[in-house]
């Protein structure tokens, strides 16, 4: 065979060799890729089994968040950011400089709501809130702001107040010799200044997490007892929140420990959530009517009235987000990515300051559109709130004039009772920190009822008593409004 005839055969062998080498290289690369993927999967599985480095051992006695932060630096970093003061259109606080004094060493406070709206002073006349009421600040300030409010100087507040303003789990356990409820009962009866000495921190990790498992838990006795009473009213007896609640429920319940309506019951000043009849404002009002509790006697009218606290939990439960299974933490502590980790953002704040992660996870519109929708709801609520505030102030001034003019005790008593209702319904929205967003239709319904109560109160001062002819628009099961058909006259 000649040389030229051998050349094609050599070329074929060389091409076959290249093909084999290429296949081998591709197989090796694929094997390396699969191996890397499997290693990565294994690493992620190991991270999931132990998602933090155990730098320190945590137990049920460690209250200092900085110690917990050694194991959970990402969460602790967010927690520390709650010192910020950033205002939304209808909430949040701006930093107001002040000169520190011996009585109050703070150099920065939130803006005064009383200066923004002097009608609040009229509504709360004779009560400590008419002396000092400021915009809410972040969790980092919750203890010091309660300690140094001027309300402490005009009234003797009990240790009960610490329940929602400090990390109380360990102090309660110590006071009760290991019994949480007994410690709670003891602190309730202390003067505030004495109880304050037992508490070191504002809300802390231990208040919401089990140190061994990091599972969410409720530690506030007020909520433990309150949610059991609520569930009983719904036909669920012996509800034990830390055993019976789902994880998604717990992502709301840990917030509901403090963001609620409450009162101090009896001479023991036992913190009580008025939920035994239900959780909406009508049911809470019916509870107070039956219990006979009032917070103070109004200085201008003599009416025995109520002060709503901060019923975010109650209002949220009437809204579309609660009905859809969305928890407080979904919006106020949304998940965030930090490297390979997914964690809850512990920089607790308004979702309107964090629309991308708080809202757009579910709502596929622009941030500008979502902000505009939220502020539209809040603006309409605020406008209705102002109408209700004017109506209440009118009733208060009319009551003052009627007393001076010698009106009958019957008409005064009826008008005072209606003032109590108008004032509590208005305050239920005023004290709730979403300006209607948590439940927009419910907020406007409540304010509309407040307006109606105020106008009925004015009618009651007219000659003949001015009976209401308004239709009964109560929700099913709610008590009749005073002055409407079928309503009992008087508060109790």
pLDDT in tens, 329-347: 999 999 999 888 899 999 9
The tens digit of pLDDT for each residue in 460-484 reads 999 876 655 444 444 444 445 444 4
Does the pLDDT at position 1 exceed 70? no
- Shared-domain flag, residues 405 and 304: no
Chain mean pLDDT for the chain: 90
In this prediction, residue 105 carries a pLDDT of 94
* Chain segment 379-392, per-residue pLDDT in tens: 999 999 999 999 99
Rounded mean pLDDT of 301-317?
A: 97
Domain total of the chain: 2
CA quadruple 360, 365, 366, 371: dihedral sign: negative
Inside any domain, residue 419? yes
| In a shared domain, residues 321 and 425 | no
Domain check: are 140 and 176 in the same one? yes
With both helix axes pointing from N to C terminus, report the angle between 440-460 and 409-430 in degrees, rounded to the nearest 10. 160
pLDDT per residue as tens digits for the range 169-227: 999 999 999 999 999 999 999 999 999 999 999 999 999 999 999 999 999 999 999 99
Determine, yes or no, domain membership for 74.
yes
Whether 477 is covered by a domain: the verdict is no
For residue 438, the domain's CATH number is: 1.20.140.10
Looking at the structure, tell me whether residues 379 and 348 fall in a common domain. no
* Residue that finishes a domain, picked among 332, 366, 400: 366
Check residues 5 and 149 and name the one with the higher pLDDT: 149
> Does 127 fall in a domain?
yes
Same domain, 375 and 340: no
H helices of 234-298, where? 241-244, 247-256, 281-291
Q: What percent of the chain has pLDDT over 70?
A: 89
pLDDT (0 to 100) of residue 46: 58
Confidence of residue 32 (pLDDT cuts 50, 70, 90): confident
Can you tell me the mean pLDDT for 51-67?
A: 90
pLDDT of 23: 79
The answer to whether residues 272 and 213 belong to one domain is yes
Q: What is the mean pLDDT of residues 244-248?
A: 97
Same domain, 340 and 400: no
So what's the pLDDT on residue 34? 83
Q: Per-residue pLDDT averaged across 405-412, rounded?
A: 96
- The crossing angle, in degrees rounded to 10, of helices 221-233 and 247-256 is 120
CATH of the domain at 79: 1.10.1130.10
Residue 3 in this model has a pLDDT that exceeds 60: no
pLDDT of residue 485: 35
Residues 287 and 378 in one domain: no
The reply to whether 133 and 217 lie within a common domain is yes
Predicted confidence (pLDDT) at residue 323 exceeds the cutoff of 50: yes
Residues 6+ apart with CB under 8 A from 434: 91, 312, 315, 316, 378
Helix 409-430 with 367-404: angle, nearest 10 deg: 160
Give the pLDDT of residue 138: 95
Residue 139 lies in a domain: yes
With contact defined as beta carbons under 8 Å apart, do 414 and 386 qualify? no
Q: Which of 366, 397, 427 is the C-terminal boundary of a domain?
A: 366
Give 52 or 25, the one with higher predicted confidence.
25
The residue to which tokens 């502590």 are assigned: 333
288 and 327 inside one domain:
yes
44 belongs to a structural domain: no
Whether residues 150 and 255 share a domain: the answer is yes
Asked, for residue 346, whether it belongs to a domain, the answer is yes
Residues 298 and 247 in one domain: yes
Would you say residue 30 lies in a domain?
Answer: no
* Domain final residue, candidates 366, 393, 409: 366
pTM of the entire predicted model: 0.85
Task: Find how far residue 117's CA is from the centre of its chain.
Answer: 23
Helices (H), 126-191: 142-148, 151-154, 169-175, 180-188
Range of the domain at 427: 370-460
At residue 420, the 3 state secondary structure works out as: helix
């Amino acid at each position: 065979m000649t040389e030229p005839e051998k050349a094609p055969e050599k070329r074929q062998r060389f091409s076959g060799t290249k093909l084999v080498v290429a296949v081998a290289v591709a197989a090796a690369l694929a094997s390396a890729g699969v191996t890397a993927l499997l290693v990565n999967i294994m690493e992620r599985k190991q991270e999931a089994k132990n998602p933090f480095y155990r730098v320190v051992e945590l137990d049920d006695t460690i209250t200092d968040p900085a110690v917990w932060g050694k194991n959970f630096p990402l969460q602790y970093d967010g927690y520390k950011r709650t010192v910020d003061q950033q205002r939304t259109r209808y909430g949040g606080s701006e930093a107001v400089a002040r000169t520190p004094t011996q009585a109050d060493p703070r150099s920065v406070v939130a803006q005064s709501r009383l200066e923004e709206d002097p009608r609040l002073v009229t509504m709360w006349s004779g009560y400590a809130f008419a002396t000092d009421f400021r915009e809410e600040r972040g969790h980092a300030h919750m203890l010091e702001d309660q300690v140094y409010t001027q309300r402490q100087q005009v009234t003797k507040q009990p240790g009960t107040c610490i329940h929602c303003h400090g990390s109380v789990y360990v102090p309660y356990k110590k006071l009760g010799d290991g019994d949480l409820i007994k410690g709670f009962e003891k602190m309730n009866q202390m003067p505030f200044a004495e109880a304050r000495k037992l508490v070191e921190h504002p809300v802390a990790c231990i208040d919401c997490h089990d140190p061994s498992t990091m599972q969410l838990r409720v530690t506030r006795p007020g909520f433990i007892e309150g949610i059991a009473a609520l569930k009983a009213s719904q036909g669920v007896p012996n509800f034990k929140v830390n055993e019976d609640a789902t994880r998604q429920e717990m992502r709301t319940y840990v917030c509901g420990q403090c963001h609620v309506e409450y009162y101090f019951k009896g001479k023991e000043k036992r913190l009580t959530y008025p939920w035994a009849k239900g959780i909406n404002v009508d049911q809470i009002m019916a509870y107070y009517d039956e219990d006979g509790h009032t917070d103070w006697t109004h200085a201008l009218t003599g009416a025995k009235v109520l002060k709503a606290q901060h019923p975010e939990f109650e209002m949220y439960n009437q809204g579309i987000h609660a009905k859809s299974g969305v928890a407080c933490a979904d919006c106020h502590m949304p998940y965030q990515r930090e490297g390979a980790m997914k964690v809850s953002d512990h920089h607790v704040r308004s979702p309107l300051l964090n629309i991308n992660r708080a809202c757009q996870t579910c709502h596929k519109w622009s941030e500008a559109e979502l902000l505009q929708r939220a502020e539209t709801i809040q603006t309409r609520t605020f406008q209705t709130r102002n109408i209700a505030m004017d109506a209440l102030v009118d009733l208060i001034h009319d009551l003052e004039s009627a007393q001076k003019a010698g009106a009958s005790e019957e008409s005064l008593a009826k008008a005072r009772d209606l003032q109590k209702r108008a004032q509590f319904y208005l305050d239920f929205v005023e004290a709730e920190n979403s300006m209607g967003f948590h439940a927009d239709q419910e907020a406007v319904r409540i304010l509309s009822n407040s307006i109606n109560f105020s106008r009925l109160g004015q009618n009651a001062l007219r000659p003949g008593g001015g009976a209401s002819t308004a239709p009964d628009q109560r929700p099913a099961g709610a008590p009749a409004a005073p002055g409407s058909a079928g309503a009992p006259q008087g508060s109790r």
